[in-house]
Amino acid sequence: MKKLRVVDILPVLLSLMLPALRLYLYEETRLSVGYLLVFEWLHSSLILFTLWHFFWLSWDFKEGNNKWYALGILGTFLALIALYFEFFETLSINVHIRLIPPTVLFLIIQYTLKSQQRLSRLHLEKEQLQTENYKAQLKTLRTQVDPHFLFNSLNTLRSMVRQQHSGSEQFILSLSDFYRQTLQHNEQTTILLSKELAVLQSYLFLMKSRNEKAVQVEFKIDESLLKYQIPTMVLQTVVENCFKHNSMTSKKPLQIVISSTEDRYICVCNNIQAKLKDEESSGLGLELIRKRYELMNVEQGFTFRQTPEEFCVKLKLIEP
């Protein structure tokens, strides 16, 4: 069922109420015969209703819309005026004078409504442009394969193969699995938490293979939450930031804790160990995560907090 708008209800109310108000205020009209009183009220209401739509369509006519429809309304309006003169030419109040107040009122109301419509349309167009912009940025982010990550992973693999490392085969499988799942889920808006964690595990295995004891990762996830959804690849984006902005050694390892909370959030925390020469952060990755939650109409989907010792990101889970 179509929802009634103000612009649909207002002309009906005004067209019925204004003639009724005039009939009530003027004593000579109240002394009229009953059926003539009703006829005058209905006829005046029809005149005002037509007048409203004539002015309303005149705005569209000015903008180049509904020209023929507006001309048709104009013809109908003039015909009703002629009928009004024919039936009520004996009335003492001139029809032109009686139409001036509602005309001014209608023009003021319609100007206000049209101005609000233009502002709403501009605001909607602005939001649509922002949405398309963020979608384009998101698509770029999600389809981007970091050449440095791939290059470093292949170098690590070469080193492991040369040393006949026992984990070489698992490294190859994890690298293959990571890219396979990344491509597989790339076009999905959300993904099961269990699948997102599987992708993250493959990524973390690659990173720990490269950095060995310099990385410590701990999972504290309530298994009952694995059936919930989460925006695709957000966990990897957050964890990737941990490696990007922090130094790590075997003596001072990077510590990452991925846990769930009672209010159905996934929390990713890491100790802060700033690099001597940190890459300049654009904040695009985290900003896009926030916008992704907004586009899905998820309130408070993304929050973060930072202390001198720790940086934490909270990601809201979405009910299946």
pLDDT recorded at residue 240:
86
Q: Which residue has the tokens 């992708």?
A: 199
pLDDT recorded at residue 255:
94
Rama region for 312: left / alpha / beta (φ>0; ψ in -120 to 50; rest): beta
Note down pLDDT in tens along the chain; length 320 residues: 555 576 678 877 887 777 776 666 655 554 454 556 676 677 777 777 877 777 777 776 666 555 566 566 656 666 655 655 555 444 444 555 666 777 788 888 888 888 888 888 888 887 777 767 666 665 655 555 566 667 777 877 887 788 787 778 888 888 887 777 777 666 677 889 999 998 888 888 888 887 878 999 999 999 999 999 998 888 988 998 888 888 899 889 999 999 999 999 999 999 998 887 655 555 667 887 888 888 788 888 999 999 989 999 999 999 88
Write out pLDDT tens, residues 252-267: 999 999 999 999 999 9
Structure tokens at 16: 């019925």
Distance CA 57, CA 51 (A): 10
Handedness of CA 258, 291, 307, 281 (dihedral sign): positive
